[in-house]
Amino acid sequence: MNIEEVRTYCINKVAVTESMPFGDDTLVFKVADKIFLLANLDGPLTLNLKALPEDVIDRIERFPEARPGYHMNKKHWITVDVADCFDEARLLKWIDESYNLIVESLPQKTRMSFLL
Protein backbone atom coordinates (compact mmCIF):
# COMPACT_ATOMS: atom_id res chain seq x y z
CA MET A 1 0.00 0.00 0.00
CA ASN A 2 1.30 3.47 -0.81
CA ILE A 3 0.46 6.95 0.47
CA GLU A 4 -1.98 7.68 -2.36
CA GLU A 5 -3.95 4.53 -1.56
CA VAL A 6 -3.98 5.43 2.14
CA ARG A 7 -5.03 9.00 1.32
CA THR A 8 -7.85 7.91 -0.97
CA TYR A 9 -9.10 5.40 1.58
CA CYS A 10 -9.12 7.98 4.37
CA ILE A 11 -10.66 10.94 2.54
CA ASN A 12 -13.53 8.76 1.33
CA LYS A 13 -14.67 8.33 4.92
CA VAL A 14 -17.44 10.60 6.20
CA ALA A 15 -16.36 14.04 7.47
CA VAL A 16 -12.63 13.46 7.05
CA THR A 17 -10.25 16.34 6.43
CA GLU A 18 -6.55 16.29 5.67
CA SER A 19 -3.87 18.80 6.55
CA MET A 20 -0.17 19.17 7.21
CA PRO A 21 -0.04 21.08 10.53
CA PHE A 22 3.30 19.58 11.58
CA GLY A 23 5.20 20.38 8.38
CA ASP A 24 5.65 18.98 4.89
CA ASP A 25 6.65 15.53 6.10
CA THR A 26 3.48 14.56 8.01
CA LEU A 27 0.03 14.19 6.48
CA VAL A 28 -2.74 14.28 9.09
CA PHE A 29 -6.28 12.94 8.73
CA LYS A 30 -8.97 14.15 11.11
CA VAL A 31 -12.64 13.62 11.72
CA ALA A 32 -14.44 16.49 13.48
CA ASP A 33 -11.02 18.09 14.02
CA LYS A 34 -9.68 15.06 15.91
CA ILE A 35 -6.72 13.10 14.55
CA PHE A 36 -7.22 9.45 13.65
CA LEU A 37 -4.19 8.92 11.37
CA LEU A 38 -0.80 10.51 10.81
CA ALA A 39 1.31 9.49 7.82
CA ASN A 40 5.05 10.09 7.74
CA LEU A 41 6.03 11.22 4.24
CA ASP A 42 9.77 11.45 4.87
CA GLY A 43 11.43 8.09 4.28
CA PRO A 44 9.60 4.77 4.46
CA LEU A 45 5.85 5.19 4.87
CA THR A 46 4.68 4.82 8.46
CA LEU A 47 1.22 5.42 9.88
CA ASN A 48 0.28 6.37 13.42
CA LEU A 49 -3.10 4.88 14.30
CA LYS A 50 -5.26 5.10 17.39
CA ALA A 51 -6.29 1.84 19.07
CA LEU A 52 -7.78 0.53 22.28
CA PRO A 53 -5.07 0.01 24.93
CA GLU A 54 -5.50 -3.77 24.84
CA ASP A 55 -5.23 -3.74 21.03
CA VAL A 56 -2.05 -1.63 21.19
CA ILE A 57 -0.38 -4.28 23.34
CA ASP A 58 -1.69 -7.15 21.19
CA ARG A 59 -0.58 -5.59 17.90
CA ILE A 60 2.89 -4.74 19.17
CA GLU A 61 3.35 -8.27 20.50
CA ARG A 62 1.91 -10.11 17.49
CA PHE A 63 2.78 -8.08 14.42
CA PRO A 64 6.35 -7.07 13.54
CA GLU A 65 5.15 -4.04 11.57
CA ALA A 66 3.56 -2.49 14.68
CA ARG A 67 5.42 -0.61 17.39
CA PRO A 68 4.53 1.97 20.05
CA GLY A 69 3.22 5.21 18.56
CA TYR A 70 6.03 7.55 17.59
CA HIS A 71 5.60 10.93 19.32
CA MET A 72 2.18 9.82 20.56
CA ASN A 73 0.66 8.42 23.75
CA LYS A 74 2.05 4.87 23.74
CA LYS A 75 -1.06 3.57 25.51
CA HIS A 76 -3.41 4.60 22.70
CA TRP A 77 -1.34 4.79 19.51
CA ILE A 78 0.73 2.47 17.34
CA THR A 79 3.09 3.19 14.48
CA VAL A 80 2.83 0.82 11.54
CA ASP A 81 5.68 0.33 9.07
CA VAL A 82 3.61 -0.02 5.90
CA ALA A 83 6.39 -1.69 3.89
CA ASP A 84 6.53 -4.47 6.50
CA CYS A 85 2.74 -4.99 6.52
CA PHE A 86 1.96 -7.89 4.23
CA ASP A 87 -1.77 -7.96 4.99
CA GLU A 88 -3.48 -4.96 3.39
CA ALA A 89 -6.88 -6.02 4.74
CA ARG A 90 -5.50 -5.94 8.30
CA LEU A 91 -4.04 -2.47 7.74
CA LEU A 92 -7.36 -1.19 6.36
CA LYS A 93 -9.14 -2.70 9.36
CA TRP A 94 -6.75 -0.88 11.71
CA ILE A 95 -7.43 2.40 9.88
CA ASP A 96 -11.18 1.78 10.19
CA GLU A 97 -10.83 1.05 13.90
CA SER A 98 -8.81 4.23 14.45
CA TYR A 99 -11.45 6.30 12.63
CA ASN A 100 -14.29 4.59 14.52
CA LEU A 101 -12.64 5.19 17.91
CA ILE A 102 -12.59 8.91 17.21
CA VAL A 103 -16.15 8.97 15.86
CA GLU A 104 -17.44 7.04 18.88
CA SER A 105 -15.77 9.53 21.24
CA LEU A 106 -17.54 12.51 19.66
CA PRO A 107 -20.66 14.05 21.16
CA GLN A 108 -23.83 12.47 19.85
CA LYS A 109 -24.94 15.70 18.19
CA THR A 110 -21.71 15.81 16.18
CA ARG A 111 -22.00 12.13 15.21
CA MET A 112 -25.60 12.64 14.12
CA SER A 113 -24.57 15.56 11.88
CA PHE A 114 -22.52 13.08 9.83
CA LEU A 115 -25.69 11.20 8.91
CA LEU A 116 -27.44 14.25 7.46
> For the chain, what are the domain ranges?
3-108
Q: By C-alpha distance, which of 13, 21, 12, 7 is closest to 100?
A: 13
Would you say the pTM of this structure is higher than 0.75? yes
> 3-108: which CATH architecture?
Alpha-Beta Complex (3.90)
| 90-106 pLDDT, tens digit each | 999 999 999 999 999 99
Alpha-helix residue ranges (DSSP H) falling in 14-107: 53-62, 88-105
| 58-115 pLDDT, tens digit each | 999 999 999 998 888 889 999 999 988 889 999 999 999 999 999 999 999 888 887 6
Contacts 24+ apart (CB under 8 A), 5-11: 6/37, 6/39, 6/45, 6/47, 6/82, 6/95, 7/39, 9/92, 9/95, 10/37, 10/95, 10/99
